[in-house]
Amino acid sequence: MIGDQGIKMISNVLRENTTLQVIKLDNSNPTSLAPIIDFLDAVTESKAIIDADFPENDIYNLLSLSPAQSKHSDIEQIAQKRLLAQLAVTENRSTAGVYSNLTLLNDDTLN
């Protein structure tokens, strides 16, 4: 588990990245939502990422520990950041000409 520091390093790499297109990040054991929010912001800023799995287990684990008075606002903030990241990934996919995760290049019936 890479923890807060590892997530921060990955977020920094995504901000500088021009070639990495796929990122899978979960079960990293962050201690707060801050590194997750930073990661989602980095995915949103990236012009290269065309496929991103979001840290659902990490978010769930953190929200389950969240105090009741802040849980609703935490959920809203994460939902908004995730939506922005998904929109950015969708735009990047379109720009890259990727409209599906399915590849038909090696399909014998089409060749």
CB 53 within 8 A of CB 82: no
Residue pLDDT, tens place only, 66-86: 899 999 999 999 999 999 999
> Which residue blocks in 1-111 are alpha helix, DSSP H?
3-16, 34-45, 56-65, 68-96
* CA–CA separation, 20 and 64 (whole Å): 32
Please list the pLDDT of the chain residue by residue as tens digits (111 residues). Answer: 899 999 999 999 999 988 999 999 999 999 999 999 999 999 999 999 999 988 999 999 999 998 999 999 999 999 999 999 999 999 999 998 877 766 655 656 655
Residue 87: per-residue pLDDT: 96
Distance CA 80, CA 69 (A): 19
